[in-house]
Structure 1
Amino acid sequence: MEVTLRQENKNDFESVFQLIEKAFEKEEYSDHKEQFLVERLRKSEAFIPELSIVAELDGKIVGHILFSKLQIKNEYQTFPSLALAPVSVLPEFQGKGIGSKLILHGHEIAKSLGYNSVILLGHQDYYPRFGYELCEKYNIKMPFDVPAENCMIIELTENALSGISGEVVYPSEFFE
């Protein structure tokens, strides 16, 4: 199975919308509106075109991942970071490593663009394999009430989170 990863372009928007919709339609912990979040983020200041990545198999888009800008803020400082949301793979291609490839590739691109960390809300059994740790370890808090075991962060560079703490500030598009 030869999967190609590349930056999303305008011609992909419709396919990506449908892919995200299908990927999340049976997810228990989803509002089933992730596809609309991606549409809003594409039009926002938080959007980074290089970090909207698709996975193709035989010319068909089977996966997508989006990393967008966010901040970690305390009373003294603001630190840039990224949100990983969402990562989507068509149901018939899930469990084949496509999501993993998207995540790892996204980390590399983010690092090359100068980003040092990524924050996500996700399944506590899936993301630690990529190096994600609990946000609470770094005294980083979410701006809403969610289980601590689902709030995770990764350092893309060594000691990137040294001295960083505060509350995550998501772009407003996450709340529309």
Structure 2
Amino acid sequence: MLNIKLAELDNAKIINEEGLKAMKYEIIHLIKEKWKGTVIPIKYTTDKYYDVIVNKTDKGFAIDIEKKNFTEPVTYTLEEYDLKDRLYENFRENVYAWGVVVNFELVAAIETNQELGPNRLRIIELWVAEEYQKQGIGHELIEIAKEQARRERRRVIILETQSCNVNAVDFYQHEGFSLIGIDTCCYKNNDSQRKEVKLEFGWLLKEKKKFNNDEIEVRMETPDDWYKVELMTQHAFWNKHHLGCDEHYLVHKMRQDKDYLPELSRIAVKDGEVIGCIMYSKARVVDASDIHEIITFGPLCVDPKWQGCGVGELLLRETMKLAADKGYKGIVIFGEPDYYPRVGFKTCDNFNITTADGKNFDAFMGIELGKDSMKYIKGKFYESKVFDNLPKEEVEEYNKKFSKLQKLRFPGQWD
């Protein structure tokens, strides 16, 4: 039996909501080369604790966790263990950190570690200097960890705190974390007596229900859709491969390009909201004087809120059938190698096709739209020049059409 009496939360005490809305501090990626070894000065004073009692019973174990008062305030620091928390410790391989810097001084930080085997993301450090607390910074740092977990398709975020760190326990609950475990001898053999029991909290990413064809409208876009499609595309790609993105500007430019194929391109709409799109264009494979006409697509994207619901696959399968019915022989793309093979894409070395500079790699893939339809196509792949004609200054100018989004580093970006 597990009996947990965790206190009801006072939202005003944990996060000043007005401060959150008007947070004036910018969160940045803490570059490893610069911030490695930086000490995180963990220290807190509390007049309450969660008392953790474990009793053996005839039926197993009874665990009771209840908030109680200390007779007088107690201060906890890492120095009492002769320890110091530091960013980018050598024994951790997959860490990444963000923080807030004011006048060249670190005043808040979060550090995560990818646990690749169990597919978890662990928050190692979360710290906000006392004078910067209750301004929404902690919440925004947690949101970055949640965004990292969503991008990497982790199944859960986990972290630890102590039963005496009542403010942290309450804060994590407010952020949607639940108690998932305890360790009564993590720090010393008398943790329970000292009221400093390790508590593990977890935030589980929800499994999303796959849509079927009846729940999504797949159709050609109209001029009335253009802004919504570009906005959705911007959100889908923002900070995904680079700082910011240019895919929404690519969508805008493609519509004006001679190689664009609107008769194949489609958008996905749910309850009047544009939640996905796929844009096709002409391409070619060149072998000396032989030129083979094929097609490519890009971007194919889904609003982050609806990613994982099968929208991209619905768009892809429907448009592949359209392309096959119109007599196109095959599709060649640059895409995510852990996604497209699910629907039959293979690396282009299977088709004797290389990039324009003669290379092959996992992200360069193709698919035949009929049996052996690309059997006699070989050579170098060339896509429309519109993909190369996206100057940064033009992208930045086009970004002014949309609400400003912060550019931020995440693991896995290409540059």
1:76 shift after superposition = 3.1
1:113 shift after superposition = 1.7
* In 2, Cα distance between equivalents of 1:112 and 1:6: 17
Q: Which has the larger radius of gyration?
A: 2
Matched residue, 2:343: 130
Q: Residue 293 of structure 2: which of 61, 67, 80 is its match?
A: 80
Matched residue, 1:10: 223
1:50 shift after superposition = 1.5
Q: 1:155 to 1:31 in 2, by over 3 A?
A: farther
1:72 shift after superposition = 0.6
Q: Deviations over 1:142-164 (max 9, x none)?
A: 12587600000000111111121
Q: 1:85-96 alignment to 2 at 5 Å?
A: 85-96=298-309
Matched residue, 1:41: 254
Q: 1:137 to 1:30 in 2, by over 3 A?
A: farther
2:226 is the alignment partner of 1:50: no
**TM-score normalised over the length of structure 1:** 0.94
2:329 is the alignment partner of 1:116: yes
Instruction: Give the match's secondary structure for 2:279.
Output: strand
* In 2, Cα distance between equivalents of 1:30 and 1:61: 24
Structure 2, unaligned runs of 5 or more: 1-210, 390-415
2:386 is the alignment partner of 1:162: no
Matched residue, 1:61: 274
Matched residue, 1:172: 385
Q: Which protein, 1 or 2, shows the higher relative CO under an 8 Å CA cutoff with sep ≥ 6? A: 1
* In 2, Cα distance between equivalents of 1:138 and 1:147: 11
Number of equivalent positions: 176
1:100 shift after superposition = 0.4
* In 2, Cα distance between equivalents of 1:105 and 1:30: 32
Q: What CA RMSD, in Å, does the superposition of the two structures yield over aligned residues?
A: 1.7
Q: Deviations over 1:104-129 (max 9, x none)?
A: 01101111222111111111111011
Q: Which has the higher helix share?
A: 1
Alpha carbons 2:354, 2:360 under 8 Å: kept? no
Instruction: Give the match's secondary structure for 2:319.
Output: helix
Quick one: which amino acid aligns to residue 262 of structure 2?
Answer: P
Percent identical residues: 28
1:31 shift after superposition = 6.7
Alpha carbons 2:349, 2:360 under 8 Å: kept? no
Structure 1, unaligned runs of 5 or more: none
* In 1, Cα distance between equivalents of 2:342 and 2:272: 29
Alpha carbons 1:24, 1:30 under 8 Å: kept? no
2:362 is the alignment partner of 1:152: no
